[in-house]
Amino acid sequence: MLLVIAPALAESPLLDELPREAGREINSTSASSTSNTTVVYALTGAPPVSLADNPAPQRVKVKVIDKKFMAVMGALGGAESLRFTTHKLVLDHELAAGAPWVASVPANQRLVSKYAGVYAAELLVAYELKKPHSWLPGDKIIRKLWWAYPAAMAPIHIMNGVRSIRTHAPSCPVAECQAP
């Protein structure tokens, strides 16, 4: 910073009017007056110097969470909740019917926290893929494909949920199916 300010101050016309030593006295007599005046100058600071007109590089702000992001991730969340809900209902109905392959149904809180954690991880991955990274080669291509995973997984979750909805009761009563 001093390397820029020092040459600018040396070329400044303001310094020619000031004495070179702080606290130096200057006696001046004016031709129109007969009085002798003494003035003491003290250097207090340098005048502001304008620097080069090179602005600092601006960071480009990319809006990551936009309408598209919310729509795609909302569709994925809806598809996962359809799959989760239908599987849970199938297990509840099979347990109530006495199906031997269902010993117990997990608690809702445990399942919700498990699947919410999975969805949060998917959301974070999609967010990080869409966010710009200066250190990542091919970042522009990767950022354009952030939607590929959620778009591929949503139909899979929907198909699993629809299969669970179409689940039929066993063709024979549970008691007869167990008999050898």
Pairwise CA distance, residues 21 & 51, whole Å: 26
Q: Is the pTM of this model over 0.75?
A: no
- The answer to whether 150 and 76 are in contact (CB under 8 A) is yes
Q: In a structure prediction context, what are the per-residue pLDDT tens digits for the chain, which is 180 residues long?
A: 455 555 655 666 555 555 555 445 555 554 555 556 665 555 566 666 665 666 666 666 778 889 999 999 999 999 999 999 999 999 998 888 888 888 888 898 998 999 999 999 999 999 999 999 888 888 889 899 999 999 999 999 999 999 999 987 766 665 666 655
Pairwise CA distance, residues 55 & 68, whole Å: 33
Max CA distance (Å), the chain: 135
Pairwise CA distance, residues 148 & 138, whole Å: 16
